[in-house]
Amino acid sequence: MSTDTSRRRFLTGVTAASLCTLRAAGVAGAVASRAGATATSAADASNDLAALTAVEAVRALASGDIGAENYARALLRRCEAGAGLNAFISLRPELVLEAARECDRKRRARARLGRLHGLPIAIKDSVNTRDLPTTAGTPALRHFQPREDAPLVRALRDQGAIVLGKNNLHELSYGWISNNYAYGAVHNPYDPSRIPGGSSGGTAASIAYRMAPLGVAEDTEGSIRVPAALCGIAGFRPTTGRYPTTAVVPISPRFDQLGPHARTVADLLLFDGALTSGPIEASPPTLRGVRLGVVRSYFWAGLDAEVERITAAGLESLRRAGAELVEGELAELHHLIDLITNEVQNHDFRPYMTRYLADYRTGVTFDQLIAQASPDIRRMVVPAIDPSDRDFVTDARYREIVNVHLPALHTMYREYFRRSGVAAIVFPATILPAPPIRGSAWEADMYVEVAGRRMPFDDAISRNIAPGSTAGLPGLVLPAGLTRDGLPVALEFDGPPGTDRDLLTLGLALEAVLGRLPPPPGAGARG
């Protein structure tokens, strides 16, 4: 795990002489060398700026220790350096720099600054933005330009944030690999031959590679948490409904939820506070006496050997730090997820996508959208919308799901949390590390070997992450370590609904024990 001595020095303040030297070099606020005497090269200074966390950056931007334009230029250079990862669909540097210059003008004029003043944020390209297309990664929406920002984007801009660009994703958010056939595959920063996870793969890749300090991702069935886990960053799926999801390309409003990607829990707290008008900082609590639930029969069974080694070590580290591990069961979990998760999405996709296409004046019908979609997407969607196919969910069946089975799932979790008294359930976010990109192979046809068992990739990747989003729980993903091949592995912590702030605050203590990963190859040595 990396320790960032120079960045800690930055936070406690550099000397006036050092600041003058750095400003003269055009890299105001970049971190001094360990010797504290000489300025770094322009390239190193740019990497230092890009390595700042969101919390560090907004403090420096608000104080004037760094300028918004200089900071934006440093991030744009990182975007250029990481272009081979294919993390962005739309990136217009001139818009970013224009917005950054306006931020600098506001600060010089002593105007009131927002909590995210001057902070460039990457946005998943399923979220409407007024100045960049919203393609959802699909051909039919290639030229769709929304007239207004989604409410969440508008709220971020109101707090002073800058839209850095629109991230590549699994087409229509309908998958976990982000091997987009319309816009090209997104590559994992830790090993570009492997997937970054999905559907928010471009967002996670951009955060991991230091192209942006914060990103907006979206999660219907794991699409925040899977890429966070496979790209070695922090991800947070809030309680369903905590942040607005209006003007976002939908799958099912019962499960769809926007949330942040970042490199630290403190940055997730900053994002949450900026959107909810709550505190943007918190002090890490002690882990002594904190109860964490361990449901081995479901979440910990059949793990890849490296995932098992790393997550078991992480669990032991939390125990040694004072956490109490509470063994328990969720006996009906597998049965209820089978009854609910895919069925709700299959039913909801067509009506809610049709409404989105009309409400935001895309000029595209649902049938046109699917006709132009890539073959892998059509193979998944068409059976769900064909009344003659077994995947089609009738209205009567849907009513039973939402009136009987979904409430049963909510009750099961509510009773589990009440009986056990745990603050969160802890488990491996994914049961395997990132598999290789398979060229033109369809995700539905992908098979992987996990713990000596050959199984569909869909089943492997969805098993541990589907319950949380189906039940609407807040879920925090934190890196736990790297495999012997250098691939990230993560733990997820799911709390009771509505405990988002408590879970994020607890996350500060969990992160302190689990540590942070070193940056991906080529992303700079400063973290």
**Residue tagged active-site, from 6, 18, 46, 124:** 124
Q: Please give the structure tokens belonging to residue 9.
A: 């020095």
Torsion of CA 342, 344, 350, 356, to 10 degrees: -110
**Residue tagged active-site, from 223, 252, 462, 469:** 223
- In sequence order, the 6+-apart residues with CB closer than 8 A to the CB of 196 are 85, 178, 186, 187, 188, 189, 202, 204, 205, 227, 230, 231, 434
- 166 — phi, psi (to 5°)? -110, 125
Place of tokens 């309680």: 239
Calpha distance 454→225 (Å, rounded): 23
- CA-closest candidate to residue 69, choices 117, 31, 111: 117
Q: Exposed, middle or buried, 359 (CB in 10 Å: 0-12/13-18/19+)?
A: exposed
Q: Please give the structure tokens belonging to residue 335.
A: 């049965």
Q: Mark whether 199 is an active-site residue.
A: yes
**Residue tagged active-site, from 199, 374, 462, 469:** 199
Q: Mark whether 124 is an active-site residue.
A: yes
Using N-to-C axis directions, what is the helix angle for 375-385 and 333-359, rounded to 10°?
Answer: 100
Q: Please give the structure tokens belonging to residue 342.
A: 């895919």
Using N-to-C axis directions, what is the helix angle for 93-108 and 68-81, rounded to 10°?
Answer: 160
Torsion of CA 108, 49, 203, 258, to 10 degrees: -50
Query: What single-letter DSSP state applies at residue 220?
Result: S
Q: Which residues are catalytic?
A: 124, 199, 223
